[in-house]
A = this chain, B = another copy of it.
Amino acid sequence: MEEILVESVEEASLDDPVLVEGLPGVGHVGKLVAEHLVEETESTLVRRVHSEHFPPQVEVDDDGVGSLASVDFYACPTDGRDLLVLTGNHQASDGPGHYRVAETFLDVADDFDVSDVFALGGVPTGELVDEYTVVGAVSDADLKPDLDDAGVEFRAEEPAGGIVGTSGLLVGLGGRRGFHVACLMGETSGYLVDPKSAAAVLDVLETHLDFETDHDALDDRADEMEDVVEQMQQMEGQQQAPSEEDLRYIG
């Protein structure tokens, strides 16, 4: 196998598509939105990327059939602009691999004539979140007014530690290649898988790109999560607060 292999699964014709990336990360916010888009649109798997920079493993599906670790592109038509959604269970496991795989993702975007990219993720607040602000970072300042209108908040030098991983590199490498890239990060505690934060990011994206999807499944998941959090808070009242360690593994 090559270092990075792009497998063409199916062709799809997309109208002025935008790339939407949602891979595993803080609160799984980006991945939840991306999976939502794949599930709630008439999506088609179009490209599958394998790489020796992904973990050496297969995932087993409902039928017991294993398939090699991959990150996948789905064509997702909407009532607004069409989406090319990039999602999966992996990020590269080494630094140079991160750079090389991100360049490949941009190559695929190029093949689909994409010029606008949205990298989705979460930004950790360290405490339970009441109001789900969506924080933005962009590859060029011209992108800010429209995103601002859609409810994105821009803050000086935030997140303080920069944006790490594929989302960060899409902004950094994508910007250098002339893509218009916005990173949309839902505030989230950082301890829990956070469908509410994902819903906030989805709202912003839909407003900005002017399309709609059915939010019921994501809302249901958010409700379930809310129940979990409430139970946790009751436990807090009764005994000692759950440690960060406890929180980290819930979801």
State the A residues within 8 Å of B (CB). 1, 3, 52-69, 92-100, 102-103, 136-141, 144, 154-159, 161-166, 168-169, 171-173, 175-176, 183
Contacts and interface: CB of A to CB of B under 8 A. Distances in A.
B137 A56 contact: no
A60 B157 contact: yes
A64 B165 contact: no
A133 to B, nearest CB: 13
A143 to B, nearest CB: 9
B96 A66 contact: no
A172 B139 contact: no
Contacts of A176: 1, 68
Tell me what chain A mostly uses at the interface: helix, strand, loop, or mixed.
mixed
Given A1-B173, A95-B93, A95-B94, A102 B65 contact: no
A156 B56 contact: no
A172 B66 contact: yes
A95 B55 contact: yes
B95 A52 contact: yes
Given A172-B67, A175-B68, A60 B98 contact: no
A56 B168 contact: yes
Contact of A64 (B58, B60, B63, B144): B144
A55 B162 CA distance: 10
A163 to B, nearest CB: 5
